[in-house]
Amino acid sequence: MPVQYRSILEEHKAVRRAAGLFDVSHMGEVDVKGPEALRFLNHLVTNDVTKLFPGRVLYSPMCYPNGGVVDDLLVYMRAPEDYFLCINAANIDKDLAWIHEQAKAFTVTVTDRSADYALLAIQGPTAVAIVQSLTGAKLDRIGYYHFAEGTVAGVQCIISRTGYTGEDGFELYHAAGDAAALAEAVVKAGAAHGLELTGLGARDSLRLEAGYPLYGHEITADISPLTAGLGWTVKLDKGADFIGRAALLAEKTNGAANKVVFFKTGDRRIVRADTPVLGADGAVVGKVLSGTLSPILNEAIGSALVVTASASAPLAVDIRGTLINLQLVKPPFVELKKS
Partner 1 sequence: MSSVPSDLRYAKSHEWLKPAGDGTATVGITDYAQNSLGDITYVQLPKVGATLAAGQVYGVVESVKAASDLYSPVAGTVIEVNTVLDAAPETVNQDAYNAGWMLKLKLADPASVDTLLDAAAYGKLIG
Smallest separation, CB 321 to partner 1 (Å): 10
Min. distance of Cβ 303 from partner 1 in angstroms? 16
Please, what is the minimum distance in Å from the beta carbon of residue 3 to partner 1?
A: 7
Judged by beta carbon, residue 127 or residue 271, the one nearer partner 1 is 271
The nearest distance, CB 199 to partner 1, in angstroms, is 10
Residue (136 or 321) nearer to partner 1, CB: 321
**Dist. CA 232–CA 254, nearest whole Å:** 18
1 and 22 Cβ atoms separated by less than 8 Å: yes
Backbone angles phi, psi at 198, to 5 degrees: -130, 140
DSSP 8-state symbol, 275: P
Q: Cβ closer to partner 1: 7 or 151? A: 7
15 and 202 Cβ atoms separated by less than 8 Å? yes
Q: How far apart are CA 79 and CA 57, in angstroms?
A: 12
171/204 with CB nearer partner 1? 204
**Bridge partners, residue 22, by sequence:** 121
Of 116 and 299, nearer to partner 1 (C-beta) is: 299
Choose between 8 and 44: whose C-beta lies nearer to partner 1.
8
Q: Which residues make beta-bridge pairs with 61?
A: 72
Q: Which C-beta is closer to partner 1: that of 16 or that of 161?
A: 16
Residues that bind partner 1 (CB under 8 A): 3-4, 7-10, 201, 205, 268-270, 272, 292-293, 320
Separation between Cα atoms, residue 180 and residue 182, nearest integer Å: 5
Q: What is the dihedral of CA 8, 9, 13, 16, to 10 degrees?
A: 60
Name the minimum Å distance from CB 11 to partner 1. Answer: 10
Q: What is the rounded distance in angstroms from the CA atom of residue 16 to the CA atom of residue 19?
A: 7
Give DSSP secondary structure letters for 55-112: TBEEEEEEE-TTS-EEEEEEEEEEETTEEEEEE-GGGHHHHHHHHHHHHTTSS-EEEE
CA distance 12 to 205: 7
